[in-house]
Amino acid sequence: MSGNATTNGHAHRVLVVDDEPSIVDAVATALRYEGFEVEEASTGRAALDAVTRQEPDLIVLDWMLPDIDGIEVGRRLRARGFKTAVLFLTAKDATENKVEALRAGGDDYVTKPFSLAEVVARIQAILRRTAGNLPGDVLQFADLVLDENRHEVLRDGTFLPLTATEFSLLRFFMLNPRRVLTRRVELANPQTEVGRLGLSLNAMLAQIESSFRAQKASERKLRRFVADASHELRTPLAAVRAYAELFGRGADRRPDDLERSMAGISRESERMSLLVDDLLLLARLDEGRPLGLELVQLHVVVSEAVETARTVEPERAIETSIEPALVLGDRDRLRQIVDNLLSNVRAHTPPEAAVTVRVSSPNGSAVIDVEDGGPGLGSEDVGRVFERFYRADDSRARASGGVGLGLSIVSAVALAHGGTVAARSEPGRGAGFTITLPLAQPHEGGDEDDRA
């Protein structure tokens, strides 16, 4: 036992909250090695209940949690008067994320992947400190961070010496970002040269403002994609690193812990491999790399995918209405479309929810339709389900399915084949997904794909 695991002979109690079982297991095991009493939770509500039952000395808190995210958990704890120390442990590494977490009641912030030694040391340091005041007001814009209470400004983590006037001006601009282009020239008589010039200037400013909005939206989308990809890779990587570090912290002398650590490393490594494969596929499709085209009997491909789904989940009823349809495409990628749609059903609907799979060829097109009897989607979710990393559950709970790339791949593969995708749903009445592909023309391809 080392450091600050006890006070007056009593072991400090630590609550570890994360929806990743591997992270909880590794962190909790390391803390127990150090002599801490550890309780575990995987949801925001479970964390709040645990604190209410018996307030711990410290909470190791993930950001992305089911039902209630870590930020809201921190705010609720402070609002209820709990003074429990909070160490955020998350894959979100942007400055604004750290500021938000600290303002929500966090005492420290560690990003994934992490060192168990650092996490333990930070916990011990927090427990040595006396309780202090919550952080003051902090403004953030791009790489600038302005602390109003400390009268300090940081740019990309570097302190900027400013005069009082400069500080006040910067504060004003940070409180009123992007206001310049919304100003317009006051209109004069449009029949005069000055009036016509004013109209031209206002039209130009409107076009510039519109271009900036489009650029900002594109940049936000790209940043979100990069941040999401980073987050999803950091989490299993953090688990692998933590399990590996447990070996040197005592797991090598505990056979059960060693076996569990090795199994965890294998499981999380496989998960990273699958995620990287999906990202590489999307990157290739984005680059417009040519597919391996051949004549494919789409009805055969869909039938094979349905049989596999029945084998994986025999208790689910899957009805089919499949007509012959011949398309020119990449057989493996077309199979992936159907596999992902059926996997999506398994992840987000109960086993008793029936599924109907149809293949038809109306109006010169091949149409795949997958409809389920599950809880359905909200109107906003229907419009966004094909976005990369989007999940109707904002908490990104792993229990609800994958990382949000399955339907993105469906969309990307369909578009690469010259097709379209569409989703429909009403809450409580199930969801449906329709993939429309061009039928093969008689002169296209070679021999038909007659694989069964």
pLDDT class of 328 with cuts at 50, 70, 90: very high
Predicted local distance difference test score (pLDDT) of residue 450: 45
- Give whichever of 25-39, 140-154, 202-216, 280-294 has the largest mean pLDDT: 25-39
Given a contact cutoff of 8 angstroms between Cβ atoms, the answer to whether 91 and 238 are in contact is yes
CATH class for domain 6-135?
Answer: alpha beta
Calculate mean pLDDT across residues 122-129.
86
Task: Determine which of 144-158, 264-278, 370-384 has the lowest per-residue pLDDT on average.
Answer: 144-158
- CA–chain centroid gap for 281, Å, is 18
Q: Does 449 have pLDDT greater than 50? A: no
Q: Does 80 have pLDDT greater than 80? A: yes
Same CATH fold assignment for domains 6-135 and 294-438: no
pTM over 0.85: no
Helices (H), 293-397: 298-312, 331-348, 379-384
Q: How far apart are the first and last CA of the chain?
A: 63
Predicted local distance difference test score (pLDDT) of residue 275: 80
Topology at the third CATH level for domain 139-220: Arc Repressor Mutant, subunit A (1.10.10)
Q: Does 248 have pLDDT greater than 60? A: yes
CB under 8 Å to 302, separation ≥6 — which residues? 322, 338, 357, 359, 368
Calculate mean pLDDT across residues 425-439.
91
Q: Does 75 have pLDDT greater than 60? A: yes
Task: Determine which of 8-17, 243-252, 296-305, 413-422 has the lowest per-residue pLDDT on average.
Answer: 8-17
Gap between the Cα atoms of 33 and 147, Å rounded? 39
| Nearest CA among 117, 15, 11, 10 for reference residue 58 | 15
Domain assignments of the chain as residue spans, ordered by start: 6-135, 139-220, 294-438
- Superfamily designation of domain 294-438: Histidine kinase-like ATPase, C-terminal domain (3.30.565.10)
Burial of 82 (0-12, 13-18, 19+ CB in 10 A): middle
| Nearest CA among 346, 350, 341 for reference residue 423 | 341
Given a contact cutoff of 8 angstroms between Cβ atoms, the answer to whether 293 and 446 are in contact is no
pLDDT class of 18 with cuts at 50, 70, 90: very high
Q: Does 31 have pLDDT greater than 90? A: yes
CB under 8 Å to 61, separation ≥6 — which residues? 17, 47, 70, 73, 74, 86, 87, 88, 89, 106
Calculate mean pLDDT across residues 71-75.
93
Predicted local distance difference test score (pLDDT) of residue 28: 93
Question: pLDDT digit string (tens) for 156-183?
Answer: 777 788 877 777 777 766 765 655 545 5
Pairing of strands 13-17, 58-61: parallel
Predicted local distance difference test score (pLDDT) of residue 133: 36
Q: Does 48 have pLDDT greater than 90? A: yes
- Give whichever of 101-105, 131-135, 367-371, 438-442 has the largest mean pLDDT: 367-371
